[in-house]
């Protein structure tokens, strides 16, 4: 009896050109990384951008992606139909789940904020990563390379290239010039544009086109028609009226859902309490006239509002904040120079010297960017102070200054500046404005405690006169 060797079943010929298969995996990579970037940006107004937020978000995204690879590797038939369904579902999740009004509603309804974070990451970003992660192992079955390694290598190359370009173009171009909502529409639109092609290959062009059109309409409604806040790559802004006793038609400049600045229609205008206190310090107690004042963190630019006596330089990482503040909040031009830069980079690199440095940089209500609380940052602020200059820092801390964060942050500042004056505003609130005032010429280092055995207080009083 003649022995017939076992014959491996031939891989089915792809219903789409090979080039189009690579387009599919490229778009998958572009959109999957794009969804991660979008989710991180959407989280900033609500939970900040600290490493304790970004790292778990990325970790769960990667876990879902890994599970998607595993699920895709188990698909044994109906490859293009599976990718079509995945693209359609992922586009719907991105279009709705990452739309600004939907995320705002999510964090408004689910308290505390970590619960909403878990729902957004587990219910939107994770499923998107799982659905799109199946694309490469599924479509590898349709590539015609001789070896499995060559097929998977080519697919991973185009997918990773898409991820690279997605992360770069969405963050550096689309969000900067068109806004976050436009980035959501681009990610959803790329997936939806491919759904009819996949449907045609499966003989269901009309149904696929109708489904893509329906999801596209929902995407436009959620990201264009519903009321949207002003969004940039760095922050979310809005101006809204409030009711406050003693103020005349006050309005608040909201930055990432936190009240960044306040101004009213009085003559002269009234401002947020900490701003009025800073102005009193600079103009009355320090008597500054024709001095250079550096403000790190622009907010609503109220520190210099209608204040012609000194020269102000504002530094903020968001290039759009000045135009937004002038148009919607101040309703007049900003007084002072505006520099677009990261605060730490600016104080590290500038050759200018200032009579006062005001630190008022926040990404959310209590979230100072982590690189602006270190000893190295405060050392850099001292470097740009002229002799006799003053550091004025607005911190949001507990009014008792009892939390580890409050104690450690104040200790970090005093490690560079020596003893500083600490003034707590709003002691009746869980979180208070704390104004820290440090002199550039103060000697760093702790003093020597007085004891009953060695009490030099009287001698030190004489030496200090």
- Domains along the chain with CATH numbers: 18-231 (1.20.1250), 236-439 (3.40.50.150)
72-81 long-range contacts, Cβ below 8 Å, gap at least 24?
72/133, 72/134, 72/135, 72/136, 72/137, 72/138, 73/137, 75/134, 75/137, 75/138, 75/141, 79/138, 79/139, 79/141, 79/142, 80/15, 80/16, 80/142, 80/198, 80/201, 80/202, 81/198, 81/202
**pLDDT of res. 146:** 61
Looking at the predicted structure, is the pLDDT value of residue 256 above 70? yes
Q: What is the pLDDT of residue 465?
A: 66
Does 449 have pLDDT greater than 80? yes
Tens of pLDDT, residue by residue over 293-317, are 999 999 899 999 999 999 999 999 9
CA atoms within 13 A on the CB side of 62: 6
Residue 136, φ and ψ in degrees, nearest 5: -60, -50
In the chain, % of residues over pLDDT 70: 94
What's the N-to-C CA distance of the chain in angstroms?
116
At 117, is the pLDDT very low, low, confident or very high (cuts 50, 70, 90)?
Answer: very high
> pTM higher than 0.85 for the full model?
no
- Asked if the model's pLDDT at residue 96 lies above 70, the reply is yes
Q: pLDDT of 53-90, one tens digit each?
A: 999 999 999 999 999 999 999 999 889 999 999 999 99
Is 463's pLDDT higher than 80? no
Q: What is the pLDDT of residue 35?
A: 97
For helices 126-133 and 18-47, the axis angle rounded to 10 degrees is 170
Q: Give Cα 336 distance to the centre of its chain.
A: 26
What's the pLDDT band for 188 if we cut at 50, 70, 90?
very high
Query: Is the pLDDT reported for residue 7 higher than 50?
Result: no
Q: Cβ contacts of residue 378 below 8 Å, gap of 6+?
A: 391, 412, 413, 415, 416, 417
What's the CA gap between 282 and 242, in Å, rounded?
A: 28
Q: Are 82 and 75 in contact (CB under 8 A)?
A: yes
């Amino acid at each position: 009896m003649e022995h017939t060797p076992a014959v491996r079943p031939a891989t089915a010929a792809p219903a789409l050109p090979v080039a189009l298969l690579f387009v599919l995996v490229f778009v998958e990579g572009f959109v999957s990384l794009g969804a991660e970037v979008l989710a991180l940006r959407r989280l900033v107004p609500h939970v900040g951008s600290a490493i304790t937020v970004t790292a778990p978000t990325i970790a769960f995204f990667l876990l879902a992606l890994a599970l998607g690879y595993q699920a895709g590797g188990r698909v044994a038939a109906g490859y293009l139909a599976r990718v079509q369904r995945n693209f359609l579902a992922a586009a719907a999740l991105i279009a709705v789940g990452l739309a600004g009004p939907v995320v705002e509603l999510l964090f408004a309804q689910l308290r505390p904020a970590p619960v909403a974070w878990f729902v957004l990451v587990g219910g939107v970003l994770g499923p998107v990563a799982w659905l799109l992660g199946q694309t490469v192992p599924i479509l590898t079955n349709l590539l015609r390379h001789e070896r499995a390694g060559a097929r998977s290598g080519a697919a991973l190359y185009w997918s990773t290239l898409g991820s690279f370009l997605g992360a770069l173009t969405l963050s550096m171009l689309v969000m900067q010039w068109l806004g976050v909502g436009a980035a959501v529409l681009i990610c959803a639109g790329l997936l939806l544009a491919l759904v009819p092609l996949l449907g045609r290959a499966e003989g269901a062009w009309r149904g696929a086109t109708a489904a893509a059109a329906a999801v596209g309409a929902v995407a436009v409604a959620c990201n264009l028609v519903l009321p949207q806040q002003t969004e940039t790559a760095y922050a979310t802004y809005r101006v809204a009226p409030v009711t406050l006793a003693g103020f005349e038609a006050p309005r608040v400049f909201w930055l990432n859902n936190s009240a960044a600045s306040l101004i009213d229609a009085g003559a002269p205008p009234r401002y947020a309490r900490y701003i009025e206190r800073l102005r009193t310090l600079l103009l009355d107690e320090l008597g500054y006239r024709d001095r250079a004042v550096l403000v790190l963190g622009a907010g609503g630019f109220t520190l210099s509002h209608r204040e012609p006596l000194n020269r102000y330089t504002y530094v903020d990482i968001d290039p759009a904040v000045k135009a937004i503040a002038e148009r919607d909040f101040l309703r007049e031009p900003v007084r002072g120079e505006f520099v677009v830069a990261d605060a730490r980079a600016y104080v590290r690199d500038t050759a200018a010297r200032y009579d006062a440095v005001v630190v008022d940089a926040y990404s959310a209500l209590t979230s100072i960017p982590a690189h602006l609380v270190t000893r190295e940052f405060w050392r850099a602020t001292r470097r740009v102070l002229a002799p006799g200059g003053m550091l004025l820092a607005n911190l949001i801390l507990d009014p008792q200054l009892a939390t580890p964060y409050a104690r450690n942050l104040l200790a970090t500042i005093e490690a560079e500046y020596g003893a500083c004056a600490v003034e707590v505003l709003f002691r009746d609130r869980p979180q208070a404005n704390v104004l820290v005032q440090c002199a550039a010429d103060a000697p760093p280092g702790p003093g020597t405690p007085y004891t009953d055995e060695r009490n030099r207080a009287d001698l030190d009083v004489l030496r200090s006169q």
